Structure 1
Amino acid sequence: MRQLLLLRHAKSSWDDPGLPDHDRPLDSRGRRDAAAMGEAMRRLGLSPDIVLVSSARRTLETLAAIEPLEGSPLVDEHAELYLAPAEKMLAMLHAVPETARSVLLIGHNPGLHDLALALIGPSGLASGGEDARRLGEKYPTGALAEFAIATPWWGVEEGGGRLVRFLCPKDLPAAHG
């Protein structure tokens, strides 16, 4: 069984309206939320072998804030993940080496939310309980969805993921401390 972790970048700053979107940093809440999510990931034993991350500043700062990740994963930064649609993210997952047991993808909405909904599929969304209901409603900044994947990476398709958990920063006490 493979593990796929989908992490939306944490809350970004809009303080400088002249800054290009790609270059927006995290704001103070985003840094706090990402650090809390990193702590939760360590507590849950979520340790990816590979991290696929958008080249946007806010995704790279999210990655920095959740570190250290267990096991020193291979970090692969991709410009094409910036605001990528679900289909592009899925194509990138199809190219992951079969030796990877766990992948963390750090990206943006709406593509990340669309990918999560595609993986869970309509039947998983309907029967997946409270986490699936919350995931169906929205994918907030800093949120993490964990999926169990039964196929090789190249075979991941719609309905091919079982939602294990959906964590939002508001669920984590450390994000409010």
Structure 2
Amino acid sequence: MPSLTLLRHAKSSWDDAVTRDFDRPLNARGRRAAVVVGSWMKGEGLSFDHVAASPATRVIETLDGVSEGYGRPIEPAWDKRIYLASAATLLDLVREFPAGAAHALMVGHNPGLEDLVLALAADSPDSPLRGEVEIKYPTAAIAVLHWEGGWADACEGGAVLDRFVRPRDLAEGLGPDD
């Protein structure tokens, strides 16, 4: 049964004068959130045998912070197709994950990640976490899903959403009003 963790990049800075969206760095709150999320992942015992990530600057910097909090490097396969990808594209990428991988991490952007969670997670009254994702999938949020079969069996409504954690759930000062 595969386990897929989806991590949205941490809060980026709109104050930097970069010419391309791809090059936007994290802001101070985003850097802090990435470390906090990495620490939470370590505490939860999350581990990955496959990691795929967008090569955008804000994703690279998010993974640097997550690695710091996690206590060891998280080394992804950088994949430009993840950058601002639709849920359909992301699902195609998930279906390509190595058959031998049991736990994968994908790090990318919205709206694709949020839409992917909503597409994969079964819509049922027993899934209050799905409703939280519908409200908002903020920066540095993590969703963990699993389903029967392999990566190629990922399908709409076929997954269980085990966890949905936002930075504001983990530390003060990381919420939208902080």
State TM-score, norm by structure 1: 0.91
Query: What is the aligned counterpart of 1:156 among 150, 154, 170?
Result: 154
Task: Return the alpha-carbon distance in structure 1 between the equivalents of residues 59 and 143 of structure 2.
Answer: 16
Residue 120 (structure 2) pairs with residue 122 (structure 1) = no
| Deviation sequence 1:109-164 (CA, Å, 0-9, x none) | 001100000011333xx4302x2221121100010001122221011110121011
Q: Select the structure that is richer in helix.
A: 1
Residue number in structure 1 paired with 2:51: 51
Contact 1:32 1:175 (8 Å CA) reproduced: no
Task: State the partner residue of 2:40.
Answer: 40
SS in 1 for 2:76: strand
How many correspondences in the alignment?
Answer: 173
**Given residue 87 of structure 2, which amino acid in structure 1 is its aligned partner?**
A
In structure 2, stretches of 5+ residues that fail to align are none
Alpha-carbon offset, residue 73 of structure 1: 5.9
Written as runs of structure 1 = structure 2, the 5 A alignment for 1:102-141 is 102-123=103-124, 126-129=125-128, 131-141=129-139
* 1:49-99 superposed Cα distances (whole Å, 9 cap, x missing partner): 111100100011111110155886652001111000011111111111111
**Divergent runs of 4+, >4 A:** 68-74
Per the alignment, in what secondary structure is the counterpart of residue 11 of structure 1? coil
Does the C-alpha gap of structure 1 residues 50 and 174 become closer, same or farther in structure 2, counting only changes over 3 Å?
A: farther
In the alignment, structure 1 residue 14 sits paired with structure 2 residue 14: yes
User: Alignment partner of 1:30: what SS?
Assistant: helix
Q: Give 3-state SS (helix, strand or coil) of 1:67's partner.
A: helix
TM, length-normalised to structure 2: 0.90
Compare the two structures and name the one with the higher strand fraction.
1
Counterparts of 1:76-115 in structure 2, within 5 Å, are 76-115=77-116
